[in-house]
Amino acid sequence: MIQTKKTTAYTDQKMGTGGLRKKTKVMMQPNYFENFIQSIFNTIGDMSGKVFVVGGDGRYFNKIAIQKLIKMAAANGVKKLIVGQNGFLSTPAGSHVMLKNHTNGGFILSASHNPGGENGDFGIKYANETGGQVPTSVSDKIYENTKKISEYKIFESEDIDLSKIRTTKLGDMEIEIIDSVKDYVEMMESIFDFEALKKLFKSGFTMRFDAMNAVTGPYAIRIFEEILGAGKGTVTHAVPLPDFGGLHPDPNLIYAKHLVDFMYSDEATDFAGANDGDGDRNMILGRKFFVTPSDSLAILADNYHLIPAYKNGIYGVAKSAATSTAVCRVAEKNNLPCYVVPTGWKYFVNLMDSKRITLCGEESFGSGSSHIREKDGIWAILFWLSIIAATGKSVEEITRENWKKYGRSYYMRFDFEGLDTEVADKLMKDLEAKLPSLTGKEYGAYKVSQAAPFVYNDPVDGSVTKNGLVVDFSNQSKITYRLSGTGSSGATLRVYLERPEYKNLDKDTYEMVSDLLKIAMDIAEIQKRTGKTKADVNT
């Protein structure tokens, strides 16, 4: 039976670049989740004939939220839902299911790389028919609806059993429960040479994959251990848990330190990789060697011809403004277009759909290609394994050869977390007003050549986006400031530093950017305004 329930609107349901993310207990407030889902349905309009994909990363509240979403979809007249078995579906796998089935979009319930559990975070990623993030014009309409919603519709029924692969119904709505892993594996087999990868593991090559107790554990076991023949136990933290087993599922040097420590020990494997909560981010490690996401993107772009799916060429590449210029140097020497976009995967989607790019990535451990409209963690790891299989070289050798060929960008990101939102906003506003006066100013060996907001003119839809503030120096070094939209509380100021070098390729990264860090903190008056003398997280 369909019921219409009265509700009171919440005014804090504005989607960021990764959807709506809040503390789990905020999401669990009466009607909070329901209000947001109903606002999406209201924005879409007529739901008859519509088909959506539903899944999540298994974090706390996932099971309850999916049942609510299913019942609301039925009440709002949705024709069909395609749901991952037991409610599991990684973000890249979900994007593929949307594209493969020509659906009208989908819902992946995840806060991505944010911590889980009752005291952690919860999120909702709403994708359109491309399988990627909705445009700002759509998310703005959803937000306006959240501020005035007064009722929502829900089908009153028992919960749907999602444990069995089958097709069932709720009212007039069809529900197809699918193997969460099968379609994704088939897609990876169509992109990469799995026979070559099997030979790599038969040769004695070893790896460790850390799923961080998140959604990609089952995907990784199926691909790496069962199909490619990696040893049993290659995949660690393989069971998705509501609180990720206490791990913070963000694959970087801080939150995946246990994997880093292992790879810098005498027991290290030849290769290691990790994914985040919903499987769209990746970290790449060799024996006692870490590959920055910026370098990883550049290396993928330089070796695309080794991958069967790209052997006939690629359209171009793209990076976020905060990502280092390494991939642009590769593109220039290989006569490939290179686009620089704001943070947010939706900007890449426009370029993919218009056949301007094939490969893209962000400094925040995300890379992908036009096989889907999201970043893809396991895809990136299979790409790296394919390069290793084709060249016979180690992770470190592959990376150092790239530096010798194109130069090295010494690059680091410094996150100042938990800032008062008003303080952070004023810091950025005052800094933007200050930028014009910086041009020509000298800070020791660093002379400012240009200082301005980053402005992106989308070549596809003509939209204009301002995202972050950039200080360029005459020696090609760069400081980028940006407020993050992926946190669930407070504000995070991210400061990105880049110093390209073409001769000194073996220096310590922090040592090479330490002067830039002092300049960045001085220009923005970070200590004075926030009270912080150092960043909370360095990556």
The CA angle 427-432-438, to the nearest 5 degrees, is: 110
The CA angle 465-468-472, to the nearest 5 degrees, is: 115
CA distance 90 to 113: 12
**3-state DSSP of 284-352:** EEECCEEECHHHHHHHHHHCHHHCHHHCCCCCCEEEECCCCCHHHHHHHHCCCCEEEECCCHHHHHHHH
Closest CA relative to residue 136, chosen from 346, 320, 375, 321: 346
CA 65 to chain centre: 22
Backbone angles phi, psi at 279, to 5 degrees: 85, 15
CB proximity list for 4: less than 8 A, separation 6 or greater: 151, 152, 153
Sign of the torsion angle spanned by Cα atoms 366, 369, 372, 377: negative
Residue 6 DSSP SS3: strand
Residue 426 DSSP SS3: helix
- Check if the beta carbon of residue 495 is closer than 8 Å to that of residue 397: no
In what helix (H) or strand (E) does residue 379 lie, and over which residues does it extend?
helix 377-391
Query: Which residues does residue 469 pair with via DSSP β-bridges, in sequence order?
Result: 453, 481
Beta strands at 106-109 and 51-56: parallel, antiparallel or unpaired: parallel
Active centre residues (catalytic): 112
- Check if the beta carbon of residue 516 is closer than 8 Å to that of residue 535: no
Query: Which residues does residue 175 pair with via DSSP β-bridges, in sequence order?
Result: 81, 168
The CA angle 82-85-89, to the nearest 5 degrees, is: 75
- Check if the beta carbon of residue 493 is closer than 8 Å to that of residue 526: yes
